[in-house]
Amino acid sequence: MTMLNTSAPRLRPPRYRVDPSARRWWTVQALLTVTGPAFLVALTMTTLSLLFFPGALGWLGPLLLGVLVLPGLGYLLVMPPWRYRVHAWELGEHAVYSASGWFWQRRRITPLTKVQTVDTVIGPIQRGFGLATVIVTTASTAGDVRISGLAMDEANELARRIGEAAAVEEA
Amino acid sequence: MDWRRLDPRMIAVHVSWLAAPAASLLLTLLISGGRLELRSWLTLAGVTLGFLTFTTIGIATWAKTRYRITADAVEVRTGMFIKTLRTVRLNRIRNVDLTASPVHRIFGVTTLRIGTAGSNDTGSEIKLDALSRTDAQALRAELLAHVTRAAAQDPVVSVMNPRWLRYAPLTFWVFGGVVLVLGLGYRALEAIGIEAWRLPLVQQLAVEFGSSALWLTIPLVLLASTLLGVIGALGLYLENWWHYRLEWVSDHLLRVRRGLLTTRSVSIERNRLFGVLLREPLLLRAGGGATVKVVAGGLGNEEQDSARSAVLPPAPLPEALRVTAGVLREPVGPLVDPVLAGHPRVALRRRIVRGLLFVTAPLLVVQGILGWLLTDVLLHLAWSTALASLPFVLWFARDAYRNLGHGLSGSYLLTRSGTFSRDTAALRRDDVLSWTFTDSPFARRAGVVTLTAAVATAAGGYRVPDMAAADSAGFADRAVPGILTEFLDRDAEGEQLPAEFADCGAGGPVGADGAR
């Protein structure tokens, strides 16, 4: 195969975004896993300090604010929109392509010939937003593709198409 | 080629044996102040005689040894009383290695050993002690040229060689071995009902250590623990690797057998063998050694895999390279003199920053806070240790950067990285089943990306860290054509990596898609 132009080829981003309501799902996730616990710990420590060591608030307050409250709040506000800008997917002719992450971003391309199973997984919070995750597994953990935050019917359709395309490619 | 002599400088090497008795004579004279008793004279005379014998034998051997290379064999004629002629056919040669003791180095000569397939006893190898360095290198190159396809077809890849034991102290176990030996001793005493701490000897030692001259006892204790560590490392090496044998039992089954007390045997199917990994941990690399692991599927989970995938104990680098070729059944393995593309300079900066963040900064901050709370001594300690850590950080960062590399060699993808353990992997390009590109905002600003090739092993992926982002897609596409071709943009716009895109499908295929 000869290249007609000499510039180095670039990997373009995948074509399709995930469902817009994924942002709300990620917000709830952030609340439950990071921000909520951080706030709770900060609140508990402040209460204890008020009850038993009122003198400690002078240095404990700023410490809790800097270590728990502000990072928790930042994560809650920054992560979901950033993720939404990054997450994307595309089912090509020979491969499935996904982009994920927010701070650390990952783009993974897995050929359909290497696909072993295709699962659609719906978590308890996802269900509330009508979302699902498509997981494509291969023989290697470093080759598995997860596309999360798709609308349920879209996810089922994609899973079906990947399964069919993989079977066609296999043959 | 005619019969040739060994290098005449060997006479000097043999004479240098006499340095030992000379030194002991000098020392005795110094200690006794020049007055020697009869007994000392006798001992010295005995020692001198012993070493003289060594020297004489050495010089005589040198005088009687001749070697030559014919069209199809290496011949060595030697012998003082019993004449021997040893012939090794060139197509049976499997390895040629050069070693030089410190004394050899002083005189600029090198010992050349020629090993054959399946020769593990030192009796069946040829040893030329010694040739001048240039002669040895020329001869080695000439002989290695004969290590042809025959080697790739040889079912026995490698067998244990007792001389590899010298690499045992260069493993981590030289540190872990101390604990191991002490623990074993303690347990053994406990088993017969003795508590080590209660022994009067131990208690006496502990008391005396505190009141002794520390400038002398601390180095002594360090020396003793080094010795213990060496013993432990040697013991582990023997237990793990004695009777080691790596061979193709059939055309598609590679088998490793090893172990002194517990025999381990691992069989690896050829069609699940995806590549090979050359590991050079820091100490071992400094000593010119390496170990080899296979990159293979079906060896269990990650923990089991790390034990089962080892196919060569710590051994000389040339042997390791030979094994990598034998495991892949290639006449010359892809890891022999690999051509690797370096990574952008930015990767060096990133490694220095990483070192400063994870080594220097914690030293400074932790000790600084403690110093501020407790004592001023720690404050001084903080800045001095942080300062002292700088050269180390810089050295390791530089080494890590210089070790980065990637490339293609025939049907293999090569990637090298690491400083504490420099790992070079050669993966079959056909067995790569997915590509992953990872980066962080810092990496994006620096224009680098980490590329991961997924293979069906327990470890999962093999990384090419911090390669130039602009080259990454092209490299991945060349390495394994077809996987990501349809997602490539070939337009000549100089944008690095589209980190964000405003709407779906930005930048569809613009440039020509290449000839179909």
Q: Which residue from B490, B497, B503 is spatially nearest to A15, judged by alpha carbons?
A: B503
Q: Look up residue A74 and give its amino acid.
A: G
pLDDT the model gives residue B71: 80
| Closest-CA distance of chain B to residue A110, Å | 5
Q: Residue B295 in contact with residue B427, Cβ under 8 Å?
A: yes
Q: Which residue from B144, B489, B102 is spatially nearest to B321, judged by alpha carbons?
A: B144
What does the mean pLDDT of chain B come to? 82
Cβ burial, residue B370 (10 Å; 0-12/13-18/19+): middle
| Closest-CA distance of chain A to residue B433, Å | 6
Q: Mean of the pLDDT values across residues B259-265?
A: 87
Q: What is the pLDDT of residues B66-119, one digit of tens each?
A: 888 888 888 888 877 777 888 887 777 777 777 778 888 888 888 888 877 655
- For the ranges A131-140, B153-162, B357-366, the lowest mean pLDDT is seen at B153-162
Give the confidence band of B51 by pLDDT, cuts at 50, 70, 90.
confident
- For the ranges B5-19, B197-211, B271-285, the lowest mean pLDDT is seen at B197-211
Q: How far apart are CA A89 and CA A139, in angstroms?
A: 21
Contacts of B488 in chain A (CB under 8 A): 9-12
Q: Interior CA angle at B441 toward A7 and A104, to 5°? A: 105
pTM of the model: 0.75
For chain A, say whether B341 makes contact (Cβ under 8 Å): no
Q: Tell me: pLDDT of B516 over 50.
A: no
Within 63-122 of A, beta carbons closer than 8 Å to B belong to 85-86, 88, 90, 92-95, 97, 101, 103-111, 114
Residues A52-77 as b/e (b if ≥16 CB within 10 A, e otherwise) read: eeeeeeeebeeebeeebbeebeebbe
- CATH, domain range B4-146: 2.30.29
Q: Tell me: pLDDT of A106 over 50.
A: yes
Cβ burial, residue A90 (10 Å; 0-12/13-18/19+): buried
| B330 half-sphere exposure, CB direction, 13 A CA radius | 19
Within 128-167 of A, beta carbons closer than 8 Å to B belong to 138-143, 145
Q: How large a percentage of chain B has pLDDT more than 70?
A: 88
Q: Residue B360 in contact with residue B390, Cβ under 8 Å?
A: yes
3-state DSSP assignment of residue B25: helix
Q: Tell me: pLDDT of B152 over 60.
A: no
For chain A, say whether B437 makes contact (Cβ under 8 Å): yes
Contacts of B491 in chain A (CB under 8 A): 5, 7
Q: Which residue from A93, A117, A98 is spatially nearest to A108, judged by alpha carbons?
A: A98
Q: What is the pLDDT of residues B364-388, one digit of tens each?
A: 888 888 888 887 777 888 888 889 9
Q: Residue A97 in contact with residue A112, Cβ under 8 Å?
A: no
Q: Any idea where the domains of chain A sit in the sequence?
A: 18-86, 93-168
B131: left (phi over 0), alpha (psi -120 to 50) or beta: beta
Q: Any idea where the domains of chain B sit in the sequence?
A: 4-146, 162-337, 345-403, 405-487
Smallest CA–CA distance from A98 into chain B, residue: B436
Q: What is the pLDDT of residues A30-83, one digit of tens each?
A: 999 999 999 999 999 999 988 888 887 888 888 899 989 999 999 999 999 999
Cβ burial, residue A115 (10 Å; 0-12/13-18/19+): buried
